[in-house]
Amino acid sequence: MTRLAVTRHLLALLATSALLTACGSMPGAGSSSDSKPAAAPAPAKPAAAGRPQAGKIGPGMNAQGEVMNPKLVEAGYGERVKGVGDWEGEITGKPAPGSKFGQLKIGMSTQQVISAIGQPNDAGAHLTGKAFIPFYFGSDRARYEMVFKGQGRLLFATSAGFFGGGQAHLIWIIHSANEGDSR
């Protein structure tokens, strides 16, 4: 790693720290009644030996394993799979009738997914806690999420941070026929 790259990452950490401090001290910070929770679910603690929590009904799911509210789903309640390029991920829920998600494989890039099933109805991105670990240059520093109405949502991990650079790969497929409902 070059000195320039290390310097960039340190400056990014300092800028983020200053931004977070400034945002936290703004009048009314955190008191907005119309603010929405983050779209991407936070990963849950893995079950024993990294296996899914078989037999348990996850948040936002029903007893048949269907995702009823995709905004409440947590990691660890789906099937762990290994995909393209040795990427590991999770598939949660059951595919909606006629869903294009059956064409997807864990590890696909965002470009491959869009080529296979088309443009999402909504998308967003956020940094993970790994982005704030000094000198951590691995994957999953940022997450990108695509929402497809009536089909579900897809989460991608990338090593990109403040300066871009990483390509996003599919790590979680959440099947939900209820995606996009106003419930």
How confident is the model over 123-171, as pLDDT tens digits?
888 777 777 788 877 677 778 889 999 899 999 988 665 555 568 889 9
In a domain, 43, yes or no: no
Q: Which of 124, 133, 78 is nearest to 101 (CA)?
A: 78
Structural domain of 131 = 59-183
CA distance 92 to 103: 15
In a domain, 45, yes or no: no
**What pTM was estimated for this model as a whole?**
0.64
In a domain, 174, yes or no: yes
Q: How confident is the model at residue 57 (pLDDT cuts 50, 70, 90)?
A: confident
In a domain, 136, yes or no: yes
In a domain, 105, yes or no: yes
Q: Are 145 and 124 in contact, with CB atoms under 8 Å apart?
A: yes
- SS3 call for 51: coil
CA angle, 148 then 149 then 150, to 5°: 115
The residue with greater pLDDT, 105 or 65, is 105
Number of domains in the chain: 1
In a domain, 38, yes or no: no
Report residue 42 CA to chain centroid gap: 8
The residue with greater pLDDT, 21 or 83, is 83
Within 10 angstroms of residue 175's Cβ, the number of other Cβ atoms is 23
In a domain, 181, yes or no: yes
In a domain, 53, yes or no: no
